[in-house]
Chain A
Amino acid sequence: MRRHLCLLIMAKINYKFSFSVLFFFLFYFFCFSFPVYGLEIISTEDVSVNAVVGSTPLVDGGGSPNPLYIPETAVRFSGIAYPYAPVYLLKEGVVQDKVFSNSSGYFSVTLKEEYSSTVLYTLFAVDLFGNRSLLLNYPIVVYQGYLTHLSGIRFAPTIVTNKVEVHPYDYLTVSGYATPSEDLEIFVIDKNNNKKKYEFNAKIDGTYKLTFPMLNYSLGEYVVYVKYINDKRISKLLKFKVAEEPKSDNGDTKDIPGDCNFDKRIDLVDFSILAYWYKKPNPPVCLDTNKDKIINLVDFSILAFYWTGRYE
């Protein structure tokens, strides 16, 4: 933010000052001399972390007259998911707890810890249609005797489409769950990376639905995703195709790249099959998610993006 603001101010001021070189240098050092990336990340995502001495003391006296009071060690995650959504908390890939968000999507989950460590926590939510969010990972330094609170978490909206192949005279409907009444933007990207954007609002119950005509789209493949305005996190990417003769069987719009056993999940089985074909010639078409005829790190990255695991 500060970087952008500074560049803007510099551009404006320049017109008014002919002897701006000195000014420029002073301003430049003010704007760029500090490593600000970390602060930017936290403000962009609105996720912040703090630790306070554990509020609930535990008594560990063993029956002695002078019991020892040990502050509780715990981590807490809070933020916005979707209305009435179950939110799962995982520690090192293992489910630890499940809580439900309220009508506005707010959730808070606290997990007791025992000692100082660095732990990878993961969260995901499932909307009322049964669609899962992508995974959110938070590697956190846990301090013994402190409640470490990560707040401001926000899941990207869920997304489904009603068709995978659409006629140019037909319409495509994109729907899902988001934070109630939040501003959203849907992006449709063609294979040349040209983007079309639609802005709208989620309803008060958290659902959203956008139907748009395919008239302005040429024949070919597209990718659609949704995100909150001014947020970095995006939903899953869904593919659709504009075709003169769309398949009458519209398939499953929830198809996941790399899910070659068609169990609607991306887990260790899919990872292992991909690992078997790593750098081998002629891999199965289904595994080669980016269609470059080789299984390399890119295919693994795509798999990692869509990872669902078997947590429920």
Chain B
Amino acid sequence: MNKYFLFFLIISCFFTSKTFAADVSFQVEDHIEVADSFYVDIIANTDGELVNSIETTIEFPEDLVIFSGYKNEGVLKLWIEAPYEKNGRVYFSGIVPGGVNGFYDANSSVLLPIKFVRLFFVAKKAGEGSFSLKNTQLLKNDGKGSLMYFEERGVSFSVQPNLNSGEENSIKLDNEPPLPFEITYLKYSFFSKTPSLLLFETTDKKIGVKEYQMKVDNGLWSVVKSPKSIDRGILGHLITIKALDFNNNAKEAYIYIPGIITVNIVISIFVGLIFIIWLYKLLLYK
């Protein structure tokens, strides 16, 4: 046996594993100018493996760009946590029921990478920067939630000076509210540890829903996430949920949550009392 051959075979193993490794990466618009709104797609090449869930954190240069929203253009429709920004990082997690292994395009002889979501950023000033991924988890659609092994690939981008500074940003002109939505009341079961929940979800045609706010009757607004646990209380309450997009356009939805004391219970008590009084009088006169 030729020992050189063995040596090269071992070396080649390292090369081949790198060539065929899966990766999660970005696709960024080619030309970005100051005040432009531009997209950043989060994509994954899984080497043909079906995946059904992702959780990741995206780091971006806060001095250069502002996170301005997202669009449900990718395969992620069920958000565990919809994209939100905190301290120069964008977080999101979600699932694709049934899993996906790529995009099918008749104009391509290969399976294209999976596009999970399209994020939007607005360029603040000219300069060089990069997007990078941290703590990404990508799980296989194998019924066990096995970890997919992949490489996190960042991307560099540059923001050019805006030669047409008078041009307004298309995102800033968005005045359409999120789409109408309904609130679902999931009632607490006596044998369950899970409390009663309110479920709500909507989308925004342009830049995604930034947050939901809730108020009980005429109370104050507070930021909430779906599902939101809710106490029934003694009397019923009118719950208002407001969906706000990244330009603060709002859409409201309402639901009445009946209290523990309902009209039926009051009538039942009243009828019961009358019956007891009647029975008492009947026995008394006998």
Contacts and interface: CB of A to CB of B under 8 A. Distances in A.
B199 A301 contact: no
A15 B6 CA distance: 11
B254 interface: no
Interface string B74-115: 010110110000000000010111111111111111111011
Contacts of A93: 77
A195 to B, nearest CB: 13
A135 B112 CA distance: 20
Interface stretch (A17-25, A64-72, A98-106, A201-209): A17-25
Contacts of B52: 301, 304-305
Contact of B104 (A92, A140, A273, A282): A140
A297 interface: yes
Contacts of A38: 102, 108-112
Contact of B141 (A35, A277, A304): A304
Contacts of A283: 193
Contacts of A143: 106-107
Given A297-B53, A297-B93, A299-B145, A14 B2 contact: yes
Interface of B: 1-2, 4-5, 8-9, 12, 15-16, 19-20, 45, 47-48, 50, 52-53, 55, 73, 75, 77-78, 80-81, 93, 95-112, 114-115, 137, 139-145, 186, 189, 192-194, 197, 199, 226-227, 229
A37 interface: yes
Kindly name the residue among A140, A143, A304 whose own CB sees the greatest number of chain B CB atoms within 10 A. Answer: A304
Contacts of A42: 110-111
Contact of A35 (B19, B115, B193, B226): B19
Interface of A: 3, 10, 14-15, 17-18, 20-21, 24-25, 28, 32, 35, 37-42, 44-45, 47, 49-51, 92-93, 118, 120, 122, 134-141, 143, 146, 148, 150, 225, 232-234, 236-237, 260-261, 266, 268-269, 271-273, 275-278, 282-284, 290, 297-307, 309
A93 B97 CA distance: 10
B98 A136 contact: yes
Given A41-B101, A276-B229, A305-B99, 15 more contacts: A3-B16, A17-B2, A18-B2, A37-B110, A49-B105, A51-B106, A51-B107, A137-B97, A141-B104, A141-B107, A143-B106, A146-B106, A301-B52, A301-B139, A305-B141
B114 A305 contact: no
Contact of B48 (A28, A41, A141, A298): A41
Contacts, number: 193
B111 A301 contact: no
B97 A40 contact: no
Contacts of B104: 47, 49, 138-141, 150
B98 A304 contact: yes
Nearest to B53: A301
Contact of B98 (A45, A92, A137, A232): A137
Contacts of B50: 232-233
Nearest to B192: A284
16 contacts: A15-B1, A20-B5, A21-B8, A25-B8, A35-B110, A37-B110, A41-B47, A137-B75, A141-B104, A225-B143, A284-B193, A297-B139, A299-B145, A301-B139, A304-B99, A305-B145
